[in-house]
Amino acid sequence: MSQSQIASARPVILTGDRTTGPLHLGHYAGSLASRLALQHSHRQYLLLADAQALTDNADDPTRIRRNVLEVAFDYLAVGIDPALTTICVQSQLPALAELTLLYMNFVTVSRLERNPTIKAEIAQRGFERDVPAGFLCYPVAQAADITAFKATVVPVGEDQVPLIEQTNEIVRRINRQIGREVLPEAAARLSAVARLPGVDGRAKMSKSTGNSIPLSASADEIRAAVGRMYTDPGHLRAADPGRVEGNVVFTYLDAFAPDREDVEMLKAHYRRGGLGDMTVKRRLTDILVAFLDPIRERRARYAADPGEVMRVLKAGTAAARTVTQATLDEVRAGLGLVLEAEPEPA
C-alpha cells in the first residue's frame, strides 16, 4: 500500500471549536487530549468554526475573527501537528454552507427546538423568543460539517452528543432519499472527562460564561482561579470532614493530576478531616502550573509569528475545500440537482 492509500484507509475524524475565545482546560480534558492521541491513527480534520460562532455573536464579528488565530495558537501549542491534522476555517468552505441549505429541508423546526443542547444553550444565553434562526439551525450546519468530511468519529464533550444524534438523523434521511449510502453515520467519542465543570462549580466550563481557566493562563491567573474554586460549603474548618463529590478542586485533580495514588490519598484525608481547602488548592495550583507552563511557552512562540500560523490555516483550508466540495457534488447529484437534461425514460 502506498502512503496515500494508508492515509485514506484511516477512519476520518472531524471536530472543531467555535472561535469565541481562547481554549480552556475543559477543551483539553473534553477533546484536545483525545485529538492529540487520535491524530496518529486517524485522518483528522479540525474546524475553526467561525461561522457557527457568529450564530450567537452577530453583534461582535471582530471577536470571532480575532479568535480564529487564538484557537489555532492553542491547537499548535498543545501539540496538534499540521502534518497529521488538517486545520481549516469553516467560513472559507462554501460547500459547508451549501450542504447546510440542502439539509435544512430534511429537518423540522420542532425537532431543532426539542434538541436538549439547543434548549439549554438558548436558556443560558437568555434568547427566549428572540433566538437567531442561524442559532436554531446550527445543528444542521454541524451535520454539514461532519458529513462533508465523511467523518465517522467525532471526539467531543458530553454537551455535543444530542447534536451527533441530530446529524445521524439527517444522514439517514438523506441516504433514504437518495437511495444509497452517500453519507456515513458518525459516532461521538467521549473522553474520560466528558464535562469539566467551571471554576464556579457550574455544570460546564465554557468560554462564554467567564468560569474558565484558559490554556494561556499564567501562574498568577491559575492561582487566582483555583482560589475562587467552589469546594464543599459544609467544610468550614480544616479539621472538619469534607465532601469530595461535587467538590470542583477534586474534580480537577482527577482530571489533571499525574499521580492517581496521590489524589486518592488526598481524598481520603479530606473525607476524614484535617485537610484544609487551602492546602488542596495549593496542590492543584502547582499541578496546573506545571501542566500549562510548557503549553503557554509554546503558544507564545506561535503568537509571535502569526503569519506562519496563517499559512498553516490557508493550506489546511485549501485541502478541506477539495474534500468538502466532492461531498457536496455527490449529495447534489444524488438529489437530482444537476444541470442536465432529463434522463431518457427506461
Interface residues toward ligand ATP, by CB under 6 A: 17-18, 20, 26-27, 29-31, 156-157, 159-160, 195-196, 204-208
Residue with smaller CB distance to ligand ATP, 16 or 334: 16
Minimum distance from residue 4 beta carbon to ligand ATP (Å): 29
CB–CB of 146/47 below 8 Å? no
Minimum distance from residue 274 beta carbon to ligand ATP (Å): 31
Residue with smaller CB distance to ligand ATP, 26 or 242: 26
Torsion, Cα of 144, 161, 107, 114 (10° steps): -150
Minimum distance from residue 27 beta carbon to ligand ATP (Å): 5
The helix (run of H) or strand (run of E) holding residue 89 is strand 85-89
Tell me how far CA of residue 193 lies from CA of 158, 189, 198, 313, 327, in angstroms.
9, 11, 13, 29, 33
Minimum distance from residue 54 beta carbon to ligand ATP (Å): 11
Minimum distance from residue 159 beta carbon to ligand ATP (Å): 5
Residue with smaller CB distance to ligand ATP, 63 or 332: 63
Nearest to 139 by CA among 216, 52, 75: 52
Residue with smaller CB distance to ligand ATP, 29 or 292: 29
Residue of minimal CB distance from ligand ATP? Answer: 30
Residue with cell 429541508: 105
Residue with smaller CB distance to ligand ATP, 31 or 247: 31
Nearest to 302 by CA among 32, 100, 72: 72
Please provide the DSSP assignment of 188-211 as one string.
Answer: EEE-SSS-PPPTTS-S---GGGT-
